[in-house]
Amino acid sequence: MYKVSNLKKSYGKKADLVLKDISFDINEGEILGILGVNGAGKTTLIKVLLRALEPSGGKIEFLGCDLSKIPLSTYYKDISAVLEGERNAYWYLTGFQNIQYFGRLKKLRDSEISEEADTLLKAFDLYDARDQTAGKYSRGMLQKLSIIIAMLGDPKVLFLDEPTLGLDLLTKKAVMNNLKRLAEEKKTTIVLTSHELDVIDAVTDRVLVLENGGIAYVGKTSDFKQMYSENKYKLTLRGTVAREDILSDEYALEERGAATDIILSNISNRDIDRILTHILEKDYEIISFSKDSNCLEDIMEAFIQRGSNRDA
Partner 1 sequence: MLRLFRAELKKYLLEVKTYYPDQIVDIVTKYILFATFFYGFVHNAGNATNYSIGYMYWIIASGIISELSMSISFEKQVGTIEQLTIKPYPFWLILTVKTYVVLLVTALKSLLLLALIRVTLPVSLAFNINLVWILLVSVIGFTGIGLALSGLTMKFAKTASFESIISYGLLFFSGAIIPFDKMPVTVQRILDVIPFTAGINASQQSFNGSFHMLPVFLWLVVINLVCFMIGYWIFNAIFRNVKTNGVLNNY
Contact residues for partner 1, defined by CB under 8 A: 11-12, 44, 47, 50-54, 56, 72-74, 76-77, 79-81, 83, 85-93, 97, 100-102, 104-107
Q: Give, to the nearest 10 degrees, the angle between helix 95-105 and helix 110-123.
A: 130
Q: How far is the CB of 30 from partner 1 (least distance, A)?
A: 21
**Looking at beta carbons only, is 210 or 264 nearer to partner 1?**
210
SS3 label, residue 200:
helix
Distance CA 207, CA 203 (A): 10
Which residue number, 47 or 156, has a Cβ lying nearer to partner 1?
Answer: 47
Q: Which is nearer to partner 1, 94 or 221 (CB)?
A: 94
Least Cα distance to 67 among 45, 46, 51 occurs for 51
As measured in angstroms, the least distance from the Cβ of 82 to partner 1 is 9
Q: How far is CA 39 from CA 17, 161, 191, 235, in A?
A: 11, 14, 18, 38
At closest approach, how far in Å is the CB of 28 from partner 1? 20
Q: Are strands 252-256 and 259-264 parallel, antiparallel or unpaired?
A: antiparallel
Taking the least distance from each CB to partner 1, the nearer of 46 and 121 is: 46
Least distance (Å) between residue 214 CB and partner 1: 19
Q: How far is the CB of 299 from partner 1 (least distance, A)?
A: 31
Q: Quick one: 79 or 218, whose CB is closer to partner 1?
A: 79
Nearest to 93 by CA among 168, 28, 160, 145: 145
3-state helix, strand, coil in the chain (%, to 5): 40, 25, 30
